[in-house]
Structure 1
Amino acid sequence: MEIAIIGERDFTIGFQLCGIKNIANIEESDYSEFNSVFMQTIENTEVGIIVVNEGYYQKIPVQIRKKLEKLVSPVVVTLSDEESAGGADLRNLIKRSLGVDLWKE
């Protein structure tokens, strides 16, 4: 399984430095390009995790986001420039993809 990163160059550069090869750089605020690349990435059976900027993810049509929430693979992880309480979302993503609640007490 591969990890795919989709976003502006400033967003993707750190992932490139970590050695991730499946990177799609999107021109700033080009949501049509993002949607096109995102849909192609979802259909790629080699990709297990897709990391996108939360701002771009919010521009995806609601019906597609609802469909993604039900999929086991790929798992879509959104990251934000702002600090937020995303721990619960990450917990749900891991539980859905692994089938185990790692934070269960």
Structure 2
Amino acid sequence: MELAVVGSSQFVTGFRLAGIKKIFEVNDGELETAVKTILGDRDIGILVMHGDDLSKLPEMLRDSINDSVEPTVVTLGGSGESSNLREKIKQSVGVDLWK
């Protein structure tokens, strides 16, 4: 399984420098199409995106992302970052690691 990152050029730059190969640099108009493509890619196990980008997606797609186990979608930045990551780990592993 691979790690993928989707977002603006500012968001993906650090991941690119860290050696992540599946980088999807998009503007707002391309975000929905890129996320749908990534969700359909069976080689991607984790998708990282900015929390503000998640809120820009249509509600049905956001619901699919929130229910997705594979790939697990992790948002960084924006509001609710720590609780989102905690819920995703709990959903993926099946155990709340913070208790």
Same fold (TM over 0.5): yes
Cα distance change on mapping 1:36 and 1:92 into 2, 3 Å: same
**Stretches (4+) displaced over 2 A:** none
Post-superposition Cα deviations, 1:11-36, rounded to whole Å, max 9, x if no partner, equal 1110011111000111xxx3231111
Residue 41 (structure 2) aligns with: 44
Structure 1 unmatched ranges of 5 or more: none
The normalised TM-score by structure 1 is 0.85
Q: Which amino acid aligns with 2:81?
A: G
Distance 2:48 2:61 in 1: 16
Kindly provide the CA deviation profile for residues 77-102 of structure 1, in whole angstroms up to 9, marking residues without a partner as x: 1122x5x5522221111010111211
* Structure 2: gaps of 5 or more residues: none
Matches of 2:33 and 2:85, distance apart in 1: 25
- Could you tell me the TM-score, scaled by structure 2's length? 0.89
Match of 2:85 in 1: 90
What are the within-5 Å matches in structure 2 for residues 1-105 of structure 1? 1-26=1-26, 30-80=27-77, 84-104=79-99
> What percent identity do the matched residue pairs reach?
37
The alignment partner of 1:88 has SS state of helix
Q: Secondary structure at the match of 1:10?
A: helix
Structure 1 or 2, whichever has the larger Rg, is: 1
